[in-house]
Chains A and B, each alone.
Chain A
Amino acid sequence: MDGLAHQIVAGIATGGIYASVALAIVMIYQATHHVNFAQGEMATLSTFIAWSMVQAGMPYWVAFFATIAVSFAIGVVVERILIRPVANAPVLTMVGVFIGLLLIIGNATGWIFGYTTKVFPSPFASEKPLFGGLVSAHELGSTAVTLTVLTLVWAFFRFTKLGLAMRAAAYNPRSARLVGIRVGWMLALGWGLAAAIGAVAGMMVAPVVFLDPTMMLGILLYAFAGALMGGIDNPAGAVLGGFTVGVLENLAGAYVVGTELKLTVALAIIIGVLLVRPSGLFGRVVFSRV
């Protein structure tokens, strides 16, 4: 029984990682209606930028916010230069561009920063292990950060004019343009925000899994599962989905299917959700009249 409790706590801690990345995925989906496969690689690159700043002697929080700003800029630039020219292309073209982006950014990161594992500092240090060492102060802190980001995102879309305009641009570009919204810029802004949230996720994940160019590879799959489970257009659902996937994965791995099939659990969740409830547990069902 003790073992079960420990597996659950450890699952929640890992789930916090998935939740933060799932939030970034949902963010870009809300703003652009695309799932960016390069999201993980962009976040890793941002984390390396933060790492370089800290290595250069910058205080952690200065580097943290500077990285968010730089990542925002990178997101906007990527949209302007790479995504905009193919904005009206078929979905497969977009997928091709995203995968290309994944390879380019992933390899460039390795080329610039090297492939050796690096230590990324955590702002939430504690001397004593918490909950019998299963949850570190960092994992608690990063969950708090994820929830803060979630609240900010929700408030931004709910209460600000810019947020409303962005939602409009994503849902119905033509009508949005007719009421005077600059749709192109809204999409660029969405990319910037998603990159910034990805950067936060990366900086929260890196102290746990260590920083290297492939850091996000495994995480991204679980995060996708979490995002789909909660509903790809619902930030709060995605966060909850992330935690759920973390716990389910641990329990299934330890007691049901064995550790070899842990990743399969994530894939089963993705397929199961798409089959049974395509909009996710908390997603809105969208009807379109034809």
Chain B
Amino acid sequence: MLTRRHLLAAGAATLAAPAIGRAQDTPGVTATEIRIGNTMPYSGPASAYGVIGRSHEAFFKMVNEQGGIAGRKITFITYDDGYSPPKTVEQTRRLVEQDKVAFTFNQLGTAANSAILRYMNQRKVPHIFLSTGADKWGNYQDTPWTIGWQPSYRTEAQIYMKHLLAERPNAKIGLLFQNDDFGKDYVAGVRDILGPRYEQMVRAVSHEATDPTIDSQVVSLQQGGCDVMLTATTPKFAAQAIRRVFDVGWRPAFHYLTNVSISVGTVMEPAGPEKGVGIITSAYLKDPTDPAWDNDPGMKEWRAFMAKYIPNGDMKDGSYPFAFGIAQTLMHVLDKCRGDFSRETIMRQVADIRDFIPATLIPGIKVATSPTNFHPIRQMQLQRWTGSTWQRFGSVIEGANV
């Protein structure tokens, strides 16, 4: 017999059901497990970055040993894409469709992530905290399921220009950029700060990644009367540029260099360490080789993690502190989900980080997002090449609001 009480009970059950149902329907999330996908270049030209994936594996092992997250263990599935975008597509589809991961985390490479950007957003799978500095991951309007982490190249260029305008407001800037997404982000960042003065203050020349040398471009900039240089190119060309600028006897008042190309071993040493003295770049992570961090609590935490979980890891490799900071950010977000790991909730929490401070970021730099800010890190500190190391100077500078 149908009573009012039965009806009420049934109604309540149907109301409650979707909530329970949704949690169980979210792929990759069960009562005991949350599954996270990732692709990394473990082989191929960028295989040096593979340590980031290895670091994450170790990090989630640590998390699981400490009880997991909201009663669930993390299963981290990471595949090799060889730094080849078609393989990234293949492996990402495998992660989403076969392995049924809840979301993907920290996939590496601008081209690789560009190749899956549409797929992830059409399928509405969170595609979060990517290992690439392209600015386009901050486009929350068109690709709301995708977000980067590190300061974008555009933010970086804004920071250099802020420093320059404070030091030398009437500079003539020579901008050497690689003619692709990466290089063009710097042009955009310089424009953000200079605005209408761009045309008169900047002389920009591009080069293709296939060009054998950039000598002709350096000659053009020097002859164009530039007294400041901004080099936004990949390591091999950066080394060529540093050497050539010095050899032609050009001494720009300031020479800014993208922090993509500041490796001592592959840029500064090949260029000739004495030729780059005074070059300015930026940092947001604590450099593991900098003695200033010897007694830093954050770096001590990181070293303890390394000693226990990656005892054979290279303690000088900056990729490990990077991975540690980004993994901590993810745990912060998952923590805030309070056990509701639906894809919508995850993205809501990703877009609601309020001044989180990972252990490996330079003091003063914070991770912050909002529904209209998908650029988690927007501050950096400048550093200068002394001939043997990079030395930080000045205070933390924030990019522009555009």
A residues sitting closer than 8 Å to B (CB atoms) are: 2-3, 6-7, 10-11, 13-14, 17, 110, 115-119, 129, 132-134, 136, 205, 208-210, 212-214, 217-219, 221-222, 249-250, 253-254, 259-260, 262-263
**B215 at the A/B interface (Cβ < 8 Å)?**
yes
Interface size class of B (residues with CB under 8 A): 20 to 34
Is A11 within 8 A of B208, CB to CB? no
- In the complex, the number of residue pairs spanning A and B with C-beta atoms less than 8 Å apart equals 100
Contacts of B213 in A (CB 8 A): 14, 17, 208-209
User: Which of chain A's residues has its CB closest to B238's CB?
Assistant: A117
Q: Choose from A2, A6, A209 the contact partner of B236 (Cβ within 8 Å).
A: A209
Contacts of A119 in B (CB 8 A): 269-270
Contacts of A214 in B (CB 8 A): 45
Q: Choose from B44, B220, B249, B270 the contact partner of A117 (Cβ within 8 Å).
A: B270
Is B48 within 8 A of A116, CB to CB? yes
Is B215 within 8 A of A10, CB to CB? yes
Chain A contact residues, majority secondary structure = helix
User: Which of chain A's residues has its CB closest to B210's CB?
Assistant: A218
Of the listed residues A3, A17, A205, the one surrounded by the most CB atoms of chain B closer than 10 A to its CB is A3
In the bound complex, what is the Cα–Cα distance between A205 and B213 (angstroms)?
11
Contacts of B236 in A (CB 8 A): 117, 209-210, 212
**B65 at the A/B interface (Cβ < 8 Å)?**
no
**B211 at the A/B interface (Cβ < 8 Å)?**
yes
**B265 at the A/B interface (Cβ < 8 Å)?**
yes
The 6 A-B pairs with the shortest beta carbon distances in the complex, nearest first, are A3-B223, A133-B248, A133-B247, A218-B210, A115-B45, A250-B216
Is A116 within 8 A of B266, CB to CB? yes
Q: Pick 29 A–B contacts, CB within 8 A, sort by A.
A: A7-B216, A10-B216, A10-B219, A11-B216, A13-B215, A14-B213, A17-B212, A110-B44, A115-B48, A117-B239, A117-B266, A119-B269, A129-B247, A129-B248, A132-B249, A133-B246, A134-B247, A134-B248, A136-B247, A210-B239, A218-B208, A222-B212, A249-B216, A250-B216, A254-B216, A254-B219, A259-B206, A259-B216, A263-B208
Contacts of A13 in B (CB 8 A): 215
In the bound complex, what is the Cα–Cα distance between A214 and B246 (angstroms)?
25
Distance from A20 Cβ to chain B, minimum over Cβ atoms (Å): 12
